[in-house]
Amino acid sequence: MTFLISKVADFAEIRYLSSGDFMRIAVAKEIEVCERRVALNPDTVARLVKQGLEVWVEAGAGERSFFDDAAYVAAGATIVGDSGKLWGETDVLLKVSPPQEREDGRLEIDLLREGAVLISFLNPLGNPVVAQQLVNRKVTALSMELIPRTTRAQSMDALSSQASLAGYKAVLIAAAALPKYFPMLTTAAGTIAPAKVFIMGAGVAGLQAIATARRLGAVVEAFDIRPAVKEEVQSLGAKFVEVKLEEETTAAGGYAKEISEASKQRTQEVVAEHVKNSDVVITTAQVPGRKAPVLVTAEMVAQMKPGSVIVDLAAEQGGNCACTDPGKDIVWNGVTIIGPINLPSSMPVHASQLYSKNLTSLLQLLIKDKALQVDFTDDIIDAACITHAGEIRNQRVKDALQASTTQLVRD
């Protein structure tokens, strides 16, 4: 297969030519042990095929999401059993998790041909080395974490779609672990008071956690350093715990901003009493590319009632609770602390459905007349594209890579 690249200022068009004029899109099978999602489900494959695109799906790619190969064939996809062929002969490769090292010791990135396009979660701020590896292969890479949080990009916002699943599942995990009912019950044996749930962080995951806990009948309080989310919290029936800070708390894109040590101290003083009085605490605060802020100290945990539960959704970034052990459930001073990893993957059917929609929405923006048009004047493409034409395009990723390299030299 050959391809043509025509470039003007802030624009590149990649048109793929073979015996026919088509673009080949491939779906890789995830090799990360805990990853059960798949990049495209059969429904979205069918839509792409109807648009005249060729779709390859690696054999078994959808099995852990309960989509068998036969469903993909029925949708018009071609099943490819050779992963080397799939990675090496595709134009656009779609994944969920960042590329990994294979059992044979090779990196998945090394299987991509030069000039190919990779769209996936890439964690470029947390692991910027991946950007350099992509540059070395001259791969055009779009990171789903860097889709801007704007109205126009909502249908492509995979962080939000997956965070909603995590918030929902966190409450179910907490309810299963709590040795109490969630709702208030009036029975012949007496009245049972509802559980008290405290949600820390009112982003997408936090808001879904609030809504789910309320549906289960709990009394819910929520805290966030961003005062702008107060109305959203209250609209879901929860009480907003407000901490007035004398600094900006909202970063670009609406995300929470890392705050000063003085503000962190002030925050901990206010929330400590709410943590103490809660049956369940769910923490969701994360800062892209940074270690998660500690919101629940060991001293706070020590004051909680025995049998209480903490579910820490920031466990993968070190945890919002000082006692969290990522990937494990522990009991500390009578309090159960759960640090789940990759919660969206535990709901692979709907997680894959939502992620598929995110990817296809992005593809609709990128593909025009069977050609991939990388238009950097488009704010979504410009923000998400981290590598192109042998260069790192994103300044934050460049800075993260420089910091990582400097740290390695010091070590």
Radius of gyration, alpha carbons of the chain:
23
Within 13 Å, how many C-alpha atoms sit on residue 67's CB side?
A: 32
In degrees and rounded to multiples of 5, residue 269 shows phi and psi of: -65, -40
- Distance of alpha carbon 159 from alpha carbon 258, whole angstroms: 19
Give the active site residues: 149, 154, 157, 160, 255
In a 10 Å sphere around its CB, with 0-12 CB exposed, 13-18 middle and 19+ buried, how is residue 12 labelled? Answer: middle
Q: How far is CA 235 from the centre of its chain?
A: 25
Long-range (24+ apart) CB contacts under 8 A made by 243-250 are 243/267, 243/270, 243/271, 249/225, 250/226
For the four alpha carbons of 43, 46, 50 and 55, in that order, the dihedral sign comes to: positive
Element of type H or E holding 205: helix 204-215
C-beta separation of 89 from 58 below 8 A: no
For the chain, the maximum distance between any two Cα atoms, rounded to a whole number of angstroms, is 77
Q: Which amino acid, residue 347?
A: M
- The beta strands (E) that lie in 34-129 are given as 54-58, 78-80, 92-94, 117-120
Task: Please give the Cα distance from 163 to 288 (Å, whole number).
Answer: 14
Strands 185-187 and 92-94: unpaired
Q: Are 53 and 23 in contact (CB under 8 A)?
A: yes
